[in-house]
Chain A
Amino acid sequence: MSELSIEFAGARYRFAGLNPAQDGLVRARFRALLCRDDAKPDVRIDIHFDPNSPAFMRRPSGPVEYPLAVVPGDESIAVAGAGFTANIDRSPFRAQMQTCLSDDWFVAAFENLFRIIACHRLFNEGALVMHSAAFTDGARGFLFCGRSGAGKTTLCGLADALDLEILSDELNAIRPRGGSFELLAMPFAGDFGGEPRRHPPYPLTGLLGLRQGGETSLSVCSKAEAVSRIVASCPYLNADPQLVDELASRVERLVQRHELRILAFTKDTRFWKVLDNEYRERATAVSR
């Protein structure tokens, strides 16, 4: 059995108990984020391989949406998916995974669990993790929150055509830093993007919601709509009775300090001219 450590957004996650096949799969997937095991991890995840247990949810046959159940409890969060179950302890924050998988399905199960663990870990550290697309022009970070179907992957495709650097089209985090916020890439991508890469934090310049169709434009929305859009975009946490009040309060504080704007866009690259001009002007106005 082996261990490996993965680091991103300032936290180290150590996975222990991997068999050789599982270890190889995870190392191949998260190659760029592997780090040395010599430092104490921030989160430890123990993996128990049990190839013959009949207790696991069976793999679905055919191309179906990957089923996942997440049940928040008082002291831990129970997770179950095809071929695995897991518990995430709230305090001390750590996790245990039981699985019968050690092929490509293991990577999917591993990522699904890692995603939930990372959302909670970052939230515990003051960050917000959102279903979102995010990209940078190298100096400014733009985050577009929205659930599935909002246009995140479409927008990432258009941004990629402009050589803007995509952080993720699925999950990104923002964290307070000094008097502003920084945008953190998460190593989980949806339909767009491949192997996770290391990214530095970027200053959060644009915090946006998406609306597809109509003239390409930016508009404002009420604080209540902003809170609604962002809370609805925060997976797992917005369904956790122990965390949902803190989540809503944190989002309320965010939108008091950083306006959420709505980007209406069509399937062309005009959106970037609108964003670039708008946020350059705003940055100039703020710095005066």
Chain B
Amino acid sequence: MSTESEPPRYRVEPHARFRVMGDEGVFVLQEAGEVLVVNAVGAFIVEQLQAERSVEEIVIAVTDRYAVDQDRAQADARSLLDALLGAGAIRQA
């Protein structure tokens, strides 16, 4: 039996509708009637969440796609995920 804990995964809340528009993404938080806009990197991260990737996998995908170092990608991803959690757009799986 593995003693390692699973890396955290997040899911878009069922009431939150997400769509990509151009380079950006729009969340409609239906329960609150609120709307959020995320930038291109944020839209990419949310698409990775929708593909059920873990935070670790998302960080690797961001470093590959945007040619940033892992620390920067991790900090940006953490910051975005915290903001989306706070807004009620995603939840921990």
Contact = CB atoms under 8 A, between A and B. Distances in A.
A229 B26 CA distance: 10
A244 B37 contact: no
Contacts of B8: none
Contacts of A225: 24, 37
B22 A223 contact: yes
B30 interface: yes
Interface residues of B, number: 18
B36 A228 contact: yes
B30 A240 contact: yes
Contacts of A241: 15, 30
A222 interface: yes
A231 B28 contact: yes
Given A231-B28, A252-B21, 18 more contacts: A222-B21, A222-B22, A223-B22, A225-B37, A227-B21, A227-B35, A228-B35, A229-B35, A232-B35, A235-B33, A239-B31, A239-B33, A240-B30, A241-B15, A244-B17, A248-B17, A248-B28, A252-B19
12 contacts: A222-B23, A222-B24, A222-B37, A223-B21, A223-B22, A223-B24, A231-B26, A231-B28, A232-B35, A239-B33, A244-B28, A245-B17
Interface of B: 15, 17, 19, 21-26, 28, 30-37
A239 B24 contact: no
Contacts of B21: 222-224, 227, 252
Nearest to A229: B35
Contacts of B28: 231, 238, 244, 247-248
Nearest to A240: B30
Contacts of A238: 28, 30, 33, 35
B30, B34, B37, most chain A CB atoms within 10 A: B30
A228 B22 CA distance: 13
A195 to B, nearest CB: 29
Contacts of B22: 222-224
Contacts of A252: 19, 21
Given A225-B37, A228-B35, A228-B36, A239 B25 contact: no
